[in-house]
Amino acid sequence: PPLGTVFLDGWDICDLDVLTLRMKVGMLFQLPALFEGTVADNIQYGPQLREQKLSDEEVYSLLKLADLDSSFYCKTGGELSVGQAQRVALARTLANKPEVLLLDEPTSALDPISTENIEDVLVNLKKKQGMTIIMVSHSIKQIQRIADIVCLLVKGEIVEVLRPDKLSEAKHPMALRFLQLSS
């Protein structure tokens, strides 16, 4: 394959239509961006685009999966902490039943307790649902808590592939420098 090509289920993602790709791959960003309306409206958004309706029970299940209780159902984004909003954004992403979850430093704006809540949800998704999760993180401790495989990138290129418990064995000079500064 050409350099920079990404395949999903054997298909170049550039050849997939956007809606198909968005159903297969969920994305969670550094800062949650909720839509207007209630938490339930946010969670139901993706399925509604496909003319599917989530039952109240399905919404409650997604809230629970994201470590939120049923009291959040009717709340609006303005009533939530950043950590709660991030978990709603995760539930909204999971409502599309993605095969792969891409995370761009999803806990970078969160306090330690909210970070732990999100990490627990991610670990449970991996263990209980077998979900593939690809996460960008600059936190060595976080990587060691939740990653199975670590790819160290320098200028967009993978320079090391290690298990989290083997990070100290990195050989690339930039990877070594990053690890030194992070400890």
The answer for residues whose C-beta is within 8 angstroms of residue 51's C-beta and 6 or more apart is: none
pLDDT the model gives residue 172: 92
Residue 101, token pair as written in the block: 């979850």
Instruction: Express each pLDDT in 120-130 by its tens digit.
Output: 989 999 999 89
Where along the chain do its domains lie? Answer: 14-138, 149-183
Residue 156's pLDDT band, with cuts at 50, 70 and 90, is confident
pLDDT the model gives residue 150: 94
**By the 8 A CB rule, do 25 and 99 touch?**
yes
pLDDT the model gives residue 110: 85
Residue 181's pLDDT band, with cuts at 50, 70 and 90, is confident
Q: What is the 3-state secondary structure (H, E, C) of the chain?
A: CCCCCCEECCEEHHHCCHHHHHHHEEEECCCCCCCCCEHHHHHHHHHHHCCCCCCHHHHHHHHHHCCCCHHHCCCEHHHCCHHHHHHHHHHHHHCCCCCEEEEECCCCCCCHHHHHHHHHHHHHHHHHHCCEEEEECCCHHHHHHHCCCEEEEECCEEEEEECHHHHHHCCCHHHHHHHHHHC
Range among 11-25, 77-91, 148-162 with highest mean pLDDT value: 77-91
The residue among 152, 153, 28 whose CA lies nearest residue 93 is 28
183 pLDDT above the threshold of 80: no
1 pLDDT above the threshold of 80: no
Its pTM stands at 0.85
pLDDT the model gives residue 2: 62
d(CA 168, CA 130): 28
**By the 8 A CB rule, do 138 and 106 touch?**
no
**By the 8 A CB rule, do 15 and 21 touch?**
no
Other CB atoms within 10 A of residue 173 CB: 10
pLDDT the model gives residue 175: 87
Task: Give the range among 15-24, 92-101, 135-144 with minimum mean pLDDT.
Answer: 15-24
59 pLDDT above the threshold of 70: yes
What average pLDDT does the segment 148-172 reach?
91
Class (C level, CATH) for 14-138: alpha beta
d(CA 150, CA 152): 6
- Mean pLDDT for the chain? 91
